[in-house]
């Protein structure tokens, strides 16, 4: 979920796995106004939430400034052309990992689909794109990531100060460890990479143990991803996207991410809509840069919902295409088994 750093939902670890205790990068010298910014934030949180300001100041001063986090924020992968971006995610290892994850969690994925309407391959692909099914859930302490971005990254300081506030509340509500929890350079946690605000808003207790645990419970991870999609308008049984030929693109259509083009504009050009799509529905034109020119797709409502997880058409297309490859391999394997 990377542009959702601007609105990221998550980062979590499933399957009972624990976040690896990898050593974080060595901290660099913080900016001169770091201590003042930490103290001001702590006093504000104490007033807002009634916390002990002295204790909170002590806790927040354990956050370590990480220059590598600032560097990572300034070079997101979504700046790549599609043909380069796709190679990162649509590869045999990630497809095979998706099949394995689906088989290992078949009952949970089926239960999530029944409840929220989100297909297993979509939930699986999200987790595959985000963290390679939990293998790469982040090496930074969440406190360091959010502290660095809240106190030393003016461009997004307001957003990440809110995420630090939400993380402190998660620590209180869900007993998430304040100092040892690891995540991405943007403070996203666990297998599904939920940022703290998304964790608090959309995480669910899918294993009924009384806790919403995206760091250790695969069940909670699967349920939370499905709930996130459902809350953002996923339509059960509806298609996601349709590849277009150049002659099927009407003139003067916007390249806006939001579905705002009546599909009649495309059916008039001879586009055969996929099952479940109606001419009265709205879609969006997605243009992707290949080495030898542009590739065009019609994004439907569910494609837009994927972009709510990460505000990028590249990201959503990677998730969709990975999900299709995983489904295809599952079906092929089942055929050979029989």
Cβ-contact 221, 108 below 8 angstroms: no
Q: Which CATH number is 257's domain given?
A: 1.10.530.10
Alpha-carbon gap, residue 50 to 31, rounded angstroms: 28
Are 165 and 278 within one domain? no
Is residue 120 situated within a structural domain? no
Are 18 and 165 within one domain? yes
Q: What are the tokens at 326?
A: 């995983």
Q: Which CATH number is 141's domain given?
A: 1.10.8.350
Q: Residue 221 sits in which domain range?
A: 3-76+136-231
Is residue 99 situated within a structural domain? no
Contacts of residue 18, defined as CB under 8 A and 6 or more positions apart, other chains included, come to: 215, 216
Cβ-contact 190, 12 below 8 angstroms: yes
Phi, psi angles (nearest 5°) of residue 39 = -65, -45
Alpha-carbon gap, residue 280 to 263, rounded angstroms: 6
Alpha-carbon gap, residue 214 to 253, rounded angstroms: 40
**Predicted local distance difference test score (pLDDT) of residue 256:** 85
Are 203 and 227 within one domain? yes
Q: Global pTM?
A: 0.89
Count the domains in the chain. 2
Final residue before a domain boundary, out of 231, 256, 283 = 231
**Predicted local distance difference test score (pLDDT) of residue 147:** 97
Are 190 and 283 within one domain? no
Contacts of residue 136, defined as CB under 8 A and 6 or more positions apart, other chains included, come to: none
What is the full per-residue pLDDT of the chain (338 aa) written as tens digits? 543 444 433 333 233 333 333 455 556 687 778 999 999 999 999 999 998 889 999 999 999 999 999 999 988 666 789 999 999 999 999 999 999 999 999 999 999 999 999 999 999 999 999 999 999 999 999 999 999 999 999 999 999 999 999 999 999 999 999 999 999 999 999 999 999 999 999 999 999 999 999 999 999 999 999 999 999 999 999 999 999 999 999 988 887 889 999 999 999 999 999 989 999 999 999 999 999 999 999 999 999 999 999 999 999 999 999 999 999 999 988 887 76
Are 287 and 183 within one domain? no
Are 259 and 222 within one domain? no
**Predicted local distance difference test score (pLDDT) of residue 11:** 33
Are 319 and 295 within one domain? yes
Are 249 and 315 within one domain? yes
Final residue before a domain boundary, out of 213, 231, 249 = 231
Catalytic residues: 130
- Which is nearest to 213 in space by CA: 10, 14, 9, 4? 14
Is residue 119 situated within a structural domain? no
- Which is nearest to 11 in space by CA: 185, 176, 148, 147? 185
Neighbours of 198 (CB within 10 A): 26
3-class DSSP assignment, residue 132: coil
- Which is nearest to 156 in space by CA: 36, 5, 312, 315? 5
What b/e sequence results for 250-272 when a residue is b if at least 16 CB atoms lie within 10 Å of its CB, and e otherwise? eeebeeebebebebebbeeeebe
Alpha-carbon gap, residue 238 to 234, rounded angstroms: 8
Alpha-carbon gap, residue 317 to 300, rounded angstroms: 12
Cβ-contact 163, 196 below 8 angstroms: yes
3-class DSSP assignment, residue 276: coil
**Predicted local distance difference test score (pLDDT) of residue 6:** 41
Are 218 and 247 within one domain? no
Cα dist from 172 to 18, 43, 143, 324, whole Å = 20, 17, 14, 40
Neighbours of 233 (CB within 10 A): 11
**Predicted local distance difference test score (pLDDT) of residue 17:** 31
Is residue 302 situated within a structural domain? yes
Final residue before a domain boundary, out of 184, 213, 231 = 231
Q: What are the tokens at 239?
A: 């298609």
Are 62 and 158 within one domain? yes
Is residue 158 situated within a structural domain? yes
Alpha-carbon gap, residue 176 to 154, rounded angstroms: 27
CA 111, 112, 117 angle in degrees (round to 5)?
Answer: 115
């Amino acid at each position: 979920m990377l542009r959702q750093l601007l609105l990221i939902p998550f980062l979590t670890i499933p399957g009972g796995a624990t976040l690896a205790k990898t050593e974080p990068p060595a901290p660099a010298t913080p900016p001169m106004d770091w201590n003042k910014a930490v103290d001001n934030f702590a006093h504000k949180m104490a007033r807002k939430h009634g916390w002990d300001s002295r204790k909170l100041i002590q806790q927040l001063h354990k956050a370590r400034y990480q220059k590598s986090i600032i560097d990572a924020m300034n070079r997101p992968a979504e700046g790549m052309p599609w043909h380069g971006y796709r190679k990162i995610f649509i590869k045999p290892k990630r497809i095979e990992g998706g099949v394995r994850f689906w088989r290992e969690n078949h009952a949970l994925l089926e239960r999530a689909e029944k409840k929220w309407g989100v297909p297993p391959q979509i939930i699986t692909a999200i987790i595959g794109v985000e963290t390679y099914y939990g293998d790469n859930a982040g090496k930074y302490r969440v406190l360091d990531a959010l502290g660095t971005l809240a106190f030393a990254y003016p461009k997004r300081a307001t957003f990440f100060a809110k995420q630090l506030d939400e993380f402190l509340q998660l620590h209180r509500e869900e007993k998430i460890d304040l100092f040892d929890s690891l995540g991405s350079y943007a403070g996203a946690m666990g297998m599904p990479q939920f940022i703290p605000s998304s964790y608090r808003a959309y995480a669910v207790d899918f294993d009924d143990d009384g806790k919403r645990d995206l760091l250790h419970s695969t069940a909670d991870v699967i349920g939370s991803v499905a709930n996130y999609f459902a809350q953002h308008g996923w339509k059960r049984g509806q298609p996601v996207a349709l590849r277009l030929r150049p002659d099927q693109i009407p003139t003067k259509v916007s390249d806006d991410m939001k579905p705002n083009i009546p599909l009649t504009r495309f059916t008039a050009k001879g586009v055969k809509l996929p099952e479940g799509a109606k001419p009265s529905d709205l879609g969006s034109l997605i243009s992707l840069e290949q080495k030898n020119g542009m590739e065009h797709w019609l994004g439907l409502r569910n494609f837009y919902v994927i972009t709510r997880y990460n505000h990028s058409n590249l990201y959503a297309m990677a998730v969709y295409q990975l999900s299709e490859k995983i489904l295809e391999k599952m079906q092929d394997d089942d055929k050979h088994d029989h």
